[in-house]
Structure 1
């Protein structure tokens, strides 16, 4: 335009990349508009010439990833030979669209203090970003985690791109395939909300990272950074928690050694034509963690319990001998002990039970009565390496080619220290992990004329996970010692597979031991994508499409060699006198039946799926003040399936109550099979063919509209009112499909629900009602609806230029997630039957019968819980977001982001949500989500002090060119839920499953403890079971408490030296958690699903082993429907037939239904447990060690990193 603002048509406009000399030209249209679509990012200058006007050059134009810039050029009258040069503002108000984005520039990547040199930390600098507990700042590989929720989206709903290539691990969606080195990153942009139609496939944010490329000049670097725990502060949990009465040893400081080093080099192969960039980095770390546990003593492993016989956790009367007439002799009394039976004769010990005890290390504390008698610092090596290469070729003036390849290598060695799934904290049976990842991409860009560009890209993304056992000999010994229902020759690894899992339990405080190694996983993505841009007058049109083929082969991690859950009783009998009273002794005693299952084999889940998408979009600059973006994206995301079709899924529509003998009853199977697989497996016919190979209907109508606009009310580029709305579909995680491989008939699961022997397959000689065996039925299922997870996103924001290079954005941002995954128990007891189901515990009555068979909807086929997946979850997010950005002297910068928000959901928006408490009420878990963090403040700044170039060399070297940088993170803790943990008697809600019921809330009691001890996070007086109505959930709600938040300041001090004109040196000293503020992990109170267990004790006195009060009302656990205490009469014994005419003082008698009301079931035996009359709970107290944080976050104490870097 001219000086009066009139449009100039026919002006010659040339844009040139100042680093590579790449140039494109066009002419302005009749309205003076010009456009250069799809330029490579970089630094540019624009030159505009027109007859009768001075030539003008605009410099300092930096084009970032996915940018849409408006560069207005005003020409002055004069000769073309005269020129005017203007420098562009680096921070300008966005007037071209209404989408919310955030840019991380190269200086932030290279200069800000990053704990672990992990680029993901920079995403948290944006408004609306909430961290999940699985998110890791410091780690890479499988120890890393991308658990970040952006503007109310699911933490596993984000799309991670590297140079346009997919970087998502599509199993859990919570990790990525490669972690680009910070030295190789040019910049990246976060599409935060309501973005355009060119992005899709996930419903969260899109993080679009671009790596460095070469230029016409050679540039490179050599760098090193180091870490040593001797420079760090003490982990506050270890410092405050050791020594303790339970573990009277001094906990050592966690060992940490880190050496990160590498180099980069980039430049021209042929100037102006061919460029390359290469980087390589090594990160060698040793990370220590202090583990404490209880392990059996060496004497206990030989049947000698005399050393622990005087301990409080040992039975007061010594061991109970369930078979005192055994030919091997009765239990004996050791000399010098408490004079109680405490030694089992050697001939009565099982080889198998003794062998299982060898999975535990020897105690490190000699005192036999110390609960935590094993403490050790386990130092785990976790080396990581990356090679990255990129080439850019200008094939012609209108055709360019980009080629790139990145290879990551991450391993975690022995000891694994309890990392991951199927890994033990002890190191006796251990495993090593290996995860290589890689991305390769090729992109061909063609400029057609002056107004059209076409980009075609192919990319390949992949990773592998290999887990190898460290003690194959011991596992092989265990596998060969225990007899199996299925021959080892048919198991995947023969006798070298993972040994029997051991859950750990009871008064011996034994922790679980399990492993899944050897284990393998492969993932491959092949993606083809084409994007076409066309400029027509005031319209910039975009059209494109994407097609991706994906394959994931993952070993099903089932218990091929069984899982031991608990001991049942001698010879399969239950009741008093059938156990020794001490769990280690039970495991070692011959003739003791254990609850255990076994799988015939392990399947490889060969999962296949493809994604397709097509979009059309228009950026319409209506006039100089108003721009409208509108578009439509069509997603085709068919549900994944098994390539060999060897899996099934339970669905009620396939259930036949008249075909209970078939393990396949209720199962859908793939139409890709030639016949019913149950017939092929020689099982009774059952099940029915599913709707397709995925066993879920596909949604072929996923049209996702996008609309946004930006309005400049002044026309001067100082203000912008922006708004946007759009729908975003999300491919679900693969977990629901993966565990379908555990169903019959492809994997046979043999279950001994009430016991089997470790040394024999002989059925225990117990009463028929106490024992049952079988190949089991379905355990996993799902609906077949065509719903696909998706979200609607919207925003209304205002941007204003406060002063030159300073911009403030304030706005409202909302999100609604629909059709999200909900897991629940499809075999749950219906609400109308729950009181009766609970009251029928241990009742011998025709009316009660087998209560699981009678009251569970599919109990005749499966008497336990059955996991069922539906896509019926919802969430709502509302927020106020503010974002300030400024650039000032010496290229210094500052950013501040603040979010005030609330996220409500009925299913957790994380990779593995908790089960819904009630299958019949999908909204039962509704409340603040675990990702709900009401207040989040993040700030970062880079301040470059003067170089003092005019001062003397000593002063310049000492005081000049210092650089101060910092990241500040303050956030509320996540919303958490108190779940009934240990209770005096199980399943109070009567659903048949249990596990996610909430207790009652005590009026007037807050969540936060006020004890002066920062580790006592939750108030032990806030919950109770008293007043809880049987058959109903408590009233304390979900997500009603707040876990530990974050208060972290990272600071870096850097000194820059100019060695020569081109060579520079930088020394850095980074302080992470500068003020050493404790940062506690909320999942150390409970789990990473936001739940913390609330254990309850029964009545404090007179409460016997049968949960029955002794006649004192204060010892009753239950009240009947009339409010009377229910207890067992004094001197009575539930396990013996008796009739008592008179109840204890002031209470109901349990036999018959005296005091229970006319609607209760009659008892033909005249003898019933107290649950038969129960209506509500009374006389309970919260257990010990409630609500304590037990672990710090990885940045929970001050840590120091030092570094040196040379660059040219």
Structure 2
């Protein structure tokens, strides 16, 4: 069989295996186009155009068409030499033509009359204008990736703040969940979960889209391409940014490097909130090397790299813990009165305020003193829990921000990449690569094995193992027909265990029926509203074992017909996710204590009431997750696209096409793996039984067609006008889907009124879970659920919306790009989008009547349910509008610059971040439409790399001692600035007594920023907000909703500035040594968290912490840190 036919069969056969692999089909190659003309500007047809990649020697040849146009597609990115020959004209050679991944570079050639034996050679600079594409995109080249100060872990994602419309990237998750140090960011107002990161066209996203699987080392990256609007039809599975990373390849010359970066606490500055306390320990080592070269010259090339990243840091934290007096029931310093829940009426009225009795005399408190709980009323188990919590260690701090701690976090990762490129022959190119990373993490808890709030409850140990394998093959059938195939697999397994894994702490405290095995070992999660959370315990999500596999493949074909370039593609993707993890309350259980149980209607409450409820064991809500079976998730995706790029005139390029996406409804790996809660009759339908389909019968959306159109008009050689419109979609982002009984079961115990304790105590523990048999028809009826009692009937259920529609984002833009001369380019653009069917999480059992408590919940009267029923997903809408600007100087004369600005507004229903919109006002849902949680009205970022103009081959001081002293110096910087994110105000929901609906304050004066920082210093005027009053309706005192809107005000802005200075010393011919110093967060400028907006909190209106950002690595000290680095390269 001919080799060519064999290749075609192999590629097509791979594509047909849709059940076993998948892909996005994003461009990982490049295109070079141009027009050949004569001195009279008439087109020259049949001219021979030969291109040669300068590093590998690979070459291709074409002839121009009747319009004088030529086009090379599926090119490996690189730097090319272009030679044009034609009888009657001189041969013209243009060297150093850069062609980057996912770009269309243009090189127009005007031939001069003469003989082909005569030649003209020119050296081209980087094409400055985006002349033939209509998308909004930004490219980062090797120089920027290597030389910009990217943070202690050298994550390339820190550069993405330079993209117009992009938020500042942040580390938004725990060191366990995000051990690969993936950053979160928002592009053009979209959720961080609808971005799409690929490495050389292969999917690099975790299943839910929240994080990326693998972050390549900076030293291994050749280019980073980021598109944020009007993608070509071949791009999909994204509503935000599409980012593609291209790894370095070997060349005809051997090249490599060995580097070491080191940062220690001795070079770090104190942070804003730790000016005199414990100085955090910090040691950061980022060491590795690269090597590349030819295996066979001009034919086979190899590149590899290795990285070991080690970080040991003491994370400084500031918490609010109960004072010694509060623990003993002495609540005299509470700003609000504490009421005795054993008095008065069930609705909280008629209660009497606590006063001391004779049992308090030993405390030195006279009988009859208000806000003192008698010692005889204090419950034993809460006292045992309090004994696990250290006392405040900041003198005079009072009841808020009164405990500081420095907790050690260590993280060690080992990473390597291997990439092989093969020029099989002139018309065939093969690439194969393999990457592997293993990360070990150990996060010490603030309160020892009791856990606590130091890392948000994620303390413990864990190992994340990741590997990626991919191949790509391109073939040229003829000068006008090209094909490209890719296949890739990525796998990761994240294993996390809390620090108290294996201990029976709940039993030791006297709380029964929790520690029933390893997965439920340890201590429950305790939350006392108004204090740092969890005050004791760990997050619900650990322990966790989460292996995921993504398998993908793609086939693209391009056919050139005259001035039309037709491109077609087919893709398929498969996802496997098997997870053992708590979801709602955790496998050790969770207890929440609120203010209403020790309050009374119409009287303001505070953290003092929260603490009193805990001391009396007046639980507001409690729950526990029970792993009945391990959860699993399987999903397949199929994509098709067709597009035409038409060179309509010598100045106008049109792009139009259509994309089709099909996201098959998810299924479990075995029957019983999903179940659907039916709120109409309080029943469960279990998949795989009695004809119930494995996909729950969810609507199969086969009409997800996405038109894309765009234009690029070259008004003159220095001005391009571009615009476009396109529709894009993304898969369902939630991680938990339909994990109900029998896969997961959670026991949820809630109070029926904000003023009544839930029907459970710590001494009772949780009841034994009911495990009813699944009937042959697969439907567990309401009678069985109710008979099982609260252990099953009052579980938090998920009800999947069977009419779910894939989320759709329609984006549009108009841009003007102007060359300013001397390698400067400025772009001005209007960019907007409209989102429809954006998935939201809607509680069908939220209270709909103010003051009614559980009686106002739809499922309470009929089925006795007070737990949530989550409808996933409920479609919502979003919109985004912006003016964006970018100024760029491509690298030339030792200097490169990139800056961007956006003036923008993003509106929708998401108030908390993540992929699902959130509802807070079930009584009046229209109030939920507001500025999105990540809405930042203004962003600005800039970067530069500058080789100082001194020394050999530079402008000044080229010779002698001066050249040796002043030569080789280079400076770079990375600056990011943005206005604040929205503030969401809340008041005591106990007073509202409408479960699920958030209470907000009443605003009685204008919002005024005082800009105070730290405990006891208000950032805004808190007197502008008061608790909503109750009103008399038909003789009954009824609470009212507050009038403060959702996300109408914003918190403090952010400024981040990293700087580097380095010098390169020549050692021998092509061997150099570079010494470098990075100043991360060089100005030691704190990135403040938003102030507390909870009226019941002791720190209401105060800023008591900072946020981790792109200024440093995920585990690095947030203050200024100096990092010393040395690199040997050849």
TM-score by length of 2: 0.82
**Could you tell me which residue of structure 2 aligns to residue 33 of structure 1?**
69
Distance 1:293 1:63 in 2: 53
Q: Secondary structure at the match of 1:436?
A: strand
**Could you tell me which residue of structure 1 aligns to residue 204 of structure 2?**
167
Deviations 1:789-809 (A, max 9, x none): 110011111112121422111
Deviations 1:152-202 (A, max 9, x none): 22221110010111111123x221111111100001111121010111012
Distance 2:893 2:673 in 1: 63
Structure 1 pair 332/973, CA: closer, same or farther in 2 (3 Å)? Answer: closer
**Could you tell me which residue of structure 1 aligns to residue 812 of structure 2?**
794
**Selected match of 1:563 from 577, 581, 590:** 590
Any conservation in 1 of the 2:321–2:399 contact (CA below 8 Å)?
no
**Could you tell me which residue of structure 1 aligns to residue 739 of structure 2?**
741
Distance 1:586 1:863 in 2: 20
**Selected match of 1:375 from 393, 404, 411:** 404
Structure 1 pair 1001/285, CA: closer, same or farther in 2 (3 Å)? Answer: same
Structure 1 pair 759/158, CA: closer, same or farther in 2 (3 Å)? Answer: closer
Residue 1072 of structure 1 and its aligned partner are, at CA, apart by: 2.6
Larger relative strand fraction: 2
Distance 2:449 2:85 in 1: 63
How do 1:263-302 residues align onto structure 2 when only pairs under 5 Å count? 263-293=289-319
Q: Secondary structure at the match of 2:158?
A: helix
Any conservation in 1 of the 2:911–2:1047 contact (CA below 8 Å)?
no
Distance 1:773 1:1010 in 2: 48
Distance 1:266 1:188 in 2: 20
Distance 1:8 1:800 in 2: 28
Query: Bigger CA drift: 515-524 or 419-428?
Result: 419-428
**Could you tell me which residue of structure 2 aligns to residue 930 of structure 1?**
933
Deviations 1:441-469 (A, max 9, x none): 01111111222221111101121111123
**Could you tell me which residue of structure 1 aligns to residue 254 of structure 2?**
218
**Could you tell me which residue of structure 2 aligns to residue 679 of structure 1?**
none
Aligned residues: 1018
Any conservation in 1 of the 2:453–2:533 contact (CA below 8 Å)?
no
Distance 2:629 2:567 in 1: 45
Any conservation in 2 of the 1:872–1:922 contact (CA below 8 Å)?
no
Distance 1:878 1:480 in 2: 57
Any conservation in 2 of the 1:650–1:781 contact (CA below 8 Å)?
yes
Deviations 1:813-868 (A, max 9, x none): 111111112223212344xxx25xx1x57xxxxxxxx7347x66766331344333
Residue 358 of structure 1 and its aligned partner are, at CA, apart by: 5.9
Distance 1:1022 1:594 in 2: 29
Residue 383 of structure 1 and its aligned partner are, at CA, apart by: 2.0
Q: Secondary structure at the match of 1:924?
A: helix
Q: Secondary structure at the match of 2:545?
A: strand
Q: Secondary structure at the match of 2:548?
A: strand
Any conservation in 1 of the 2:675–2:741 contact (CA below 8 Å)?
yes
Deviations 1:462-500 (A, max 9, x none): 211111233345x32534775756993xx6x37x63443
How do 1:843-854 residues align onto structure 2 when only pairs under 5 Å count? 851-852=855-856
Residue 1059 of structure 1 and its aligned partner are, at CA, apart by: 1.4
**Could you tell me which residue of structure 2 aligns to residue 402 of structure 1?**
431
Q: Secondary structure at the match of 1:35?
A: strand
Distance 1:508 1:1188 in 2: 14
1:976 aligns with 2:1004: no
Distance 1:595 1:73 in 2: 74
Any conservation in 2 of the 1:827–1:858 contact (CA below 8 Å)?
no
Any conservation in 1 of the 2:312–2:411 contact (CA below 8 Å)?
yes
Structure 1 pair 751/1074, CA: closer, same or farther in 2 (3 Å)? Answer: closer
Residue 295 of structure 1 and its aligned partner are, at CA, apart by: 6.0
Residue 1201 of structure 1 and its aligned partner are, at CA, apart by: 1.7
Distance 1:536 1:523 in 2: 43
Unaligned stretches of 5+ residues in structure 1: 240-249, 323-329, 571-580, 657-664, 676-688, 764-771, 842-849, 1087-1091, 1097-1182
Any conservation in 2 of the 1:824–1:918 contact (CA below 8 Å)?
no
**Could you tell me which residue of structure 2 aligns to residue 706 of structure 1?**
708
**Could you tell me which residue of structure 1 aligns to residue 871 of structure 2?**
868
Distance 1:530 1:361 in 2: 61
Any conservation in 1 of the 2:514–2:521 contact (CA below 8 Å)?
no
1:62 aligns with 2:98: yes
**Selected match of 2:839 from 811, 814, 821:** 821
Any conservation in 1 of the 2:568–2:642 contact (CA below 8 Å)?
yes
**Could you tell me which residue of structure 2 aligns to residue 673 of structure 1?**
689
Residue 755 of structure 1 and its aligned partner are, at CA, apart by: 3.4
Q: Secondary structure at the match of 2:528?
A: coil
TM-score by length of 1: 0.77
Q: Secondary structure at the match of 2:274?
A: helix
Deviations 1:60-79 (A, max 9, x none): 10110111122111111212
Any conservation in 2 of the 1:91–1:805 contact (CA below 8 Å)?
no
Residue 992 of structure 1 and its aligned partner are, at CA, apart by: 3.0
Residue 952 of structure 1 and its aligned partner are, at CA, apart by: 4.5
**Could you tell me which residue of structure 1 aligns to residue 1066 of structure 2?**
1058
**Could you tell me which residue of structure 2 aligns to residue 184 of structure 1?**
220
- Return the index of the structure with the highest Cα Rg: 1
**Could you tell me which residue of structure 1 aligns to residue 882 of structure 2?**
879
Q: Secondary structure at the match of 1:121?
A: helix
Structure 1 pair 296/1052, CA: closer, same or farther in 2 (3 Å)? Answer: closer
Any conservation in 1 of the 2:794–2:866 contact (CA below 8 Å)?
no
Structure 1 pair 623/31, CA: closer, same or farther in 2 (3 Å)? Answer: same
How do 1:689-838 residues align onto structure 2 when only pairs under 5 Å count? 693-694=695-696, 696-714=698-716, 717-737=717-737, 740-743=738-741, 747=745, 749=747, 751=749, 754-756=758-760, 758-759=762-763, 775-779=792-796, 780-830=798-848, 834-835=849-850, 838=851
Deviations 1:1144-1189 (A, max 9, x none): xxxxxxxxxxxxxxxxxxxxxxxxxxxxxxxxxxxxxxx7642434
Unaligned stretches of 5+ residues in structure 2: 1-36, 344-356, 598-607, 752-757, 768-788, 1032-1037, 1112-1117
Residue 230 of structure 1 and its aligned partner are, at CA, apart by: 2.4
Deviations 1:644-686 (A, max 9, x none): 343556666x523xxxxxxxx244443x2247xxxxxxxxxxx
Distance 2:337 2:68 in 1: 95
Query: Bigger CA drift: 1188-1197 or 512-521?
Result: 1188-1197
**Could you tell me which residue of structure 2 aligns to residue 80 of structure 1?**
116
Structure 1 pair 76/745, CA: closer, same or farther in 2 (3 Å)? Answer: closer
Residue 1207 of structure 1 and its aligned partner are, at CA, apart by: 0.8
How do 1:585-604 residues align onto structure 2 when only pairs under 5 Å count? 596-604=622-630
Residue 723 of structure 1 and its aligned partner are, at CA, apart by: 0.7
Residue 143 of structure 1 and its aligned partner are, at CA, apart by: 7.3
**Could you tell me which residue of structure 2 aligns to residue 1000 of structure 1?**
1002
Distance 1:262 1:749 in 2: 49
Any conservation in 1 of the 2:500–2:522 contact (CA below 8 Å)?
no
Distance 1:631 1:236 in 2: 53
RMSD of the TM alignment (CA)? 4.0
Residue 1006 of structure 1 and its aligned partner are, at CA, apart by: 2.4
Q: Secondary structure at the match of 2:490?
A: strand
Structure 1 pair 4/757, CA: closer, same or farther in 2 (3 Å)? Answer: closer
**Could you tell me which residue of structure 1 aligns to residue 547 of structure 2?**
522
**Could you tell me which residue of structure 2 aligns to residue 967 of structure 1?**
974
Distance 1:507 1:17 in 2: 62
How do 1:298-337 residues align onto structure 2 when only pairs under 5 Å count? 312=333, 337=364
Residue 622 of structure 1 and its aligned partner are, at CA, apart by: 0.9
Any conservation in 1 of the 2:631–2:744 contact (CA below 8 Å)?
no
Residue 440 of structure 1 and its aligned partner are, at CA, apart by: 1.1
**Could you tell me which residue of structure 2 aligns to residue 107 of structure 1?**
143
Deviations 1:724-783 (A, max 9, x none): 11000111213350xx424568626374863345455799xxxxxxxx955324523242
Structure 1 pair 140/828, CA: closer, same or farther in 2 (3 Å)? Answer: closer
Deviations 1:845-901 (A, max 9, x none): xxxxx7347x66766331344333333211111111111112475231112211111
Distance 2:1026 2:454 in 1: 33
Q: Secondary structure at the match of 2:435?
A: strand
Distance 2:397 2:727 in 1: 62
Structure 1 pair 125/418, CA: closer, same or farther in 2 (3 Å)? Answer: farther
Distance 1:368 1:78 in 2: 87
**Selected match of 1:478 from 492, 496, 506:** 506
Q: Secondary structure at the match of 2:219?
A: coil
Any conservation in 1 of the 2:876–2:917 contact (CA below 8 Å)?
no
Distance 2:299 2:820 in 1: 42
Structure 1 pair 525/569, CA: closer, same or farther in 2 (3 Å)? Answer: closer
**Could you tell me which residue of structure 2 aligns to residue 1178 of structure 1?**
none
